[in-house]
Amino acid sequence: MNEPASLNPALPAVEATLRTALGEHLRIVSADPVGGGSIHTALRLQDASGARFFAKLAPAAQAPMFEAEADGLAAIAASGSLRTPAVIALGADDAHAFLVLEWLDLQPLTSATDGARFAEALVALHRNVGEHFGWPRDNFIGRTPQANAERDNWARFFVEQRLRPQFARARAQGFDVELQRQADRLLDRVPALFLDYRPPESLLHGDLWHGNAAVLADGTPVVFDPAVHRGDRESDLAMSELFGGFPAAFYAAYRCAWPLHEDYEQRKPLYSLYHVLNHLNLFGRAYLRESLRLATRLNEELGRRRE
């Protein structure tokens, strides 16, 4: 077995921080690449006792991303609704940043039973209601900074701290004059989607696609990689639908426990647009057509409302 330090130069700092947290006896004996590292290097660490950990490693400049992730995991865990991997160690040296989490043996969310249990847990998360929309700190959606300055008006929060920054990034990258024309029409009209709907300030996961949700062997629902803030619970549901992967029983159980507003389908494209724009800005032109389709659809719907 290779010495871990030869596999990744960040591991000596990781091991030192783990020793501070768990005891000087700890020694990492293996470090194996695992899935979950599309943005960072992801490793399964094992110490001499056989204990395992999930570690994310990145250049030191990315330390704020790990700090925000740890904050979000702690907030969800404190709600008592969904299981999250516990934060074991968080740190950085001159060259590297790292986050070490509890290792959990995760299984995909596929069965009707698992879907229903996950829905019940998500409802419990969303029923954790605060006083303002936003969050006490900014965080990230993927690699993209996500501003969370607290506001009392959800529609204005979503326009100013979600859509407008994404459209501005798309403009800076030179994406499609027609997309910007749709943006100019849309941003001032979004509040019309909320004239008869006042969402509570729910605690949200914020990036709830199927890759960030799982269950343990006993069916316990688990989430990770959050982009936590307080907002409209519909936005978590819309994100879960955007890329698919959740069983139908999940949606049925959620609606049974806490029915959605009758106009949810009209607002769903708004919430999808934020994530598709983020993918456009992160991954490029393949997401341009869908961004334009969603923005155009929203403008057409809002135009009909004014007639």
- Residue 150 neighbours by CB distance under 10 Å: 16
- Candidates 32, 47, 105, 207; catalytic one: 207
- The closest of 97, 187, 204, 189 to 141, measured between CA atoms, is 204
Distance CA 214, CA 32 (A): 21
Distance CA 84, CA 86 (A): 6
- Strands of 182-263, DSSP E: 202-204, 213-215, 221-223, 229-231
Distance CA 146, CA 131 (A): 20
CB 227 within 8 A of CB 139: yes
Question: Does 263 participate in catalysis according to the annotation?
Answer: no
Distance CA 80, CA 307 (A): 46
Length, in residues, of the chain: 307
Token look-up 């004239």 returns 195
First to last CA, the chain: 71
- The closest of 116, 66, 76, 101 to 205, measured between CA atoms, is 76
Active site residues per annotation: 207
